[in-house]
Structure 1
Amino acid sequence: MITEKAPGKLYIAGEYAIVEPGNNAVLVAINQFVTASLEPSKLTVGNIISKQYQNNVLSWRRRGSELVVDNRDNPYHYILSAISIIEELAVLLNRKLKTYNLYINSDLDSSDGKKYGLGSSAAVTVATIKVVAKFYNIPLTKELLFKLASIAHLDVQGNGSLGDIAASVYGGWIAYQSFNRDWLNSMRRTKDLETILRTPWPQLKIELLTPPSDLRLYIGWTGSPASTSDLVDQVATTSYQETDSYHEFLTKNASCINKMIDGFRDADITVIQREITNNRHLLQELSLFSGVSIETTTLTNFCDIAEKFDGAAKSSGAGGGDCGIVIMPNSTKTAKMFAEWEKHDIKPLDLDVHHVTEIN
């Protein structure tokens, strides 16, 4: 049995703007994981089994180099896409394709299956590619893993910045600048995989950040799952994207995120907190002009309570529910903050930052 895992993520700042190529965001990998385990199959049929979908075992067969799924109405789209892209590389490397059983387990959802918004689709994509690559003895660098997982994820979701993929691959705190996805889609139609992987991706930048020693990250869950792809689509399909207000939002966001990144480089928690608050206000403006609900009433309560205890807080990711994040100096006030959150049906999550060292 071969086992690999990939961490979940949280957006610290830069949501929505990051879907535009060349824009930046700050993310963090957290210590909850999707774990993928693989064993060769003794039969002509392979299975994909997930604890999160106990009544839905997905069976598949080989038809030459093609993986053929018996049940197409399934919740395993990201896993299948991940298998497809890493096996495309395996064929290029003259590996003989085999049949195997793949087991998936996730810590990224609540015990009753509700999503916390920790990037489970990205993490399962990354974990699947890692474990299948190990099975076929394909060495991976972080850059190669990011590119493979980005292609697989984009093939399924069709939108998004792939920042969650970057966090799951690189770990820790990162500054992520999104690449040109139209370029990638064009390359997929016209170039072979080897060329795409070897070519530098336009505008892509990933920088590991070191937080100030006294910085603490706290996370609260609103109890209301949200769909990132749906919310991003809502903003993308509004006429707001064609307005001066939207371009002003992008400009202000770029300035905010650049100052925040400088705050990390200078180990200045005051600057980081100031720009967290600034980014919250920018998202509120985006919500007002686009008509898309980003900061729900519960998230507003979450942020307002955190600010009472010297924290800088905002929604994380697409908003509309899911999690909020708080940046504050090391403090003894957190127990009171958590107690107030719980009075407003906000669940503090016992999570920490996860750092990735090696791939294989």
Structure 2
Amino acid sequence: MMTGRRPVVRRAPGKLFVAGEYAVVEPGNPAILVAVDRYLTVTVSGRAHSGVVISSDLGPRAVRWQWRDGRLDVHGEEKEDDARRGRGALAHVVSAIETVGALLAERGLPMPALSVSVHSDLHEAGRKYGLGSSGAVTVASVAAVASYCGLALSREARFKLALLATARLDPKGSGGDLAAGTWGGWIAYQAPDRDAVLDLARRRGIEEALAAPWPHFAVRRLPPPSGLCLEVGWSGKPASTASLVSGLHQLTWRGSALHRTFIQTTTDLVRAAIGALEAGDGPGLLHQIRRARHELARLDDEVGLGIFTTELTALCDAAEGVGGAAKPSGAGGGDCGIALLDAGAPNDIAHVHRRWAAAGVLPLPVRPALEGNEE
């Protein structure tokens, strides 16, 4: 049962979108993300009985699961209660374990009985900040389970396993949170065609899917911004990225003139922002972040998604009032906004924080995480 093996602990950082939201959902469109120093930690150890027990500090108790035809099913008497909420709350952990289990099966290796414990610093007192906890828990779960089972995987292979696990739950998700959690720091990211890679894994197996090139996928590290500091504010309201993205796709937006303009303009500003980061051009980066804010606002005005709340608008206005740049991070509608401010002007930073607090925005003491998930 492998209970004699030492526990394996892996953690992954949260993330924030800097630019490229919504457009990045479509394969090949670039985005900039930054990993942040709030982490989700997964500990995997053996147990004496078959199956998997998953516990989380975000849930009321541990949930037992049993393997049935390559999938995890809530155990026995817990089924009625936890089938409704257990898989929902733990869906990304479960999918990560199932995906690693499928790779083990392809290699003719058994999946041991596991005890999996999840601890999140991406929440506080039950509050969700929108720092990518689903992505972080998937990345950390894949890494911890794979390592405990003796699989030596490259960084890219761990990312691909995490994306396959996530795409099974929501193929619309870009995977940017997974890339930030895997590579860390500031990154440029382009999403692969999730339908294509899921189809490849179904037809040819996970092993071959990991080895194959993925259409449109690209990721690379970027230098941090020159002369600027990243400040983060929480709007006080949780948001659902999946529902906002899904809501956009349900509209007649896709294929429209607005859609084409948004994609083209966003792609242009993201590429320009990447160039500014690589050139150490702080003012140039600020200009592109302001463009990103205005492009999201234009989209919001046209389709009425509710990307900009009163708090997020106040967050942006406060930063621009001292010469900085700011925007919602991610899908908007709540969660966090980001600001890039002059690192050499502490009084301006303090002034922005005061204006945020007056508007109901909580400054979060987070900083870029230089490293992602490590083996």
Calculate the TM-score normalised by the size of structure 2. 0.92
Q: 2:62 aligns with which of 53, 57, 62?
A: 57
- Extract unaligned runs of 5+ from structure 1: none
Instruction: Measure, in 1, the Cα distance between the counterparts of 2:372 and 2:364.
Output: 24
Tell me how far apart the structure 1 counterparts of residues 225 and 235 of structure 2 sit (CA, whole Å): 27
Q: CA deviation at 1:63?
A: 4.7
**Are 2:182 and 2:372, in contact at CA under 8 Å, matched by a contact in 1?**
no
Q: Would you say the 8 A contact 1:141–1:359 is kept in 2?
A: no
Answer whether contact 2:276 2:285 (CA < 8 A) is retained: yes
Q: Match of 2:252?
A: 239
Partner of 2:365: 350
Tell me which of 274, 290, 297 is aligned to 1:277.
290
Question: Contact between 2:183 and 2:371, CA under 8 Å: does it hold in 1?
Answer: yes
- Whether 1:328 and 2:341 are equivalent positions in the alignment is yes
Partner of 2:356: 341
Deviation, structure 1 residue 94: 3.1
Q: Once superposed, what is the RMSD of the aligned Cα atoms?
A: 1.4
1:1-360 correspondence runs (5 A): 1-53=7-59, 55-63=60-68, 66-70=71-75, 71=79, 72-73=83-84, 74=86, 75-111=89-125, 113-330=126-343, 331-332=345-346, 333-356=348-371, 359-360=374-375
CA contact (8 A) 1:82 1:125 kept: yes
Shift of 1:162: 0.7
Q: State the identity as a percent.
A: 35
Give the whole-Å Cα distance in 2 for the aligned partners of 1:131 and 1:325. Answer: 31
Which amino acid in 1 is paired with 2:264? T
Q: Which range is displaced more, 144-153 or 213-222?
A: 213-222
Q: How far is 1:182 from its partner?
A: 2.5
Q: Is the 8 A contact 1:129 1:149 kept in 2?
A: yes
Alpha-carbon contact 2:226-2:277 (below 8 Å) kept? no
How far is 1:309 from its partner? 1.8
Partners of 1:230 and 1:63 in 2: how far apart? 30
Deviation at 1:334, TM superposition (A): 1.2
For residues 22-69 of structure 1, give each alpha carbon's deviation from its aligned partner in whole angstroms, at most 9, with x where no partner exists: 10000000010110011111123531000110x232101245755432
The answer to whether the 8 A contact 2:181-2:373 is kept is no
Structure 1 residues 135-177: Cα deviation after superposition (integer angstroms, max 9, x where no partner): 1111121110110000101111231211111001110000001
> Could you list the runs of 5+ residues in structure 2 that have no partner in the other structure?
1-6
Distance in 2 between the 1:358 and 1:341 partners?
32
Mapped partners of 1:83, 1:184: distance in 2: 18
Aligned partner of 2:42: which letter? A
Is the contact made by 2:181 and 2:372 (CA closer than 8 Å) also made in structure 1? Answer: no
| In structure 2, C-alpha distance between the alignment counterparts of 1:351 and 1:51, rounded to whole Å | 21
The alpha carbon displacement at 1:248 in A equals 0.8
Maintained 8 Å contact 1:61/1:99: no
TM-score (normalizing by structure 1): 0.96
SS at match of 2:168: helix
SS in structure 1 of the partner of residue 73 of structure 2: strand
User: What CA deviation, in whole Å up to 9, does each residue of 1:218-271 have, x standing for no partner?
Assistant: 000000000000000011110122311110111111110110000011010111
**For 2:51 and 2:202, how far apart are their aligned partners in 1?**
31
Q: How far apart, CA to CA, are the structure 1 residues paired with 2:202 and 2:44?
A: 31
Are 2:237 and 2:335, in contact at CA under 8 Å, matched by a contact in 1? yes
Question: How far apart, CA to CA, are the structure 2 residues paired with 1:249 and 1:317?
Answer: 16
d(CA) in 1 for partners of 2:372 and 2:129? 25
Assess if the C-alpha contact under 8 Å between 2:185 and 2:372 holds in 1: no
| Contact 1:62–1:99 (8 Å) recurs in 2 | no
Alpha-carbon distance between aligned partners in 2 of 1:68 and 1:40, rounded to the nearest angstrom: 19
TM superposition outliers: structure 1 runs of 4+ over 3 Å:
62-68
In structure 2, relative to structure 1, the CA distance for the partners of 1:283 and 1:264 (3 Å cut) is same
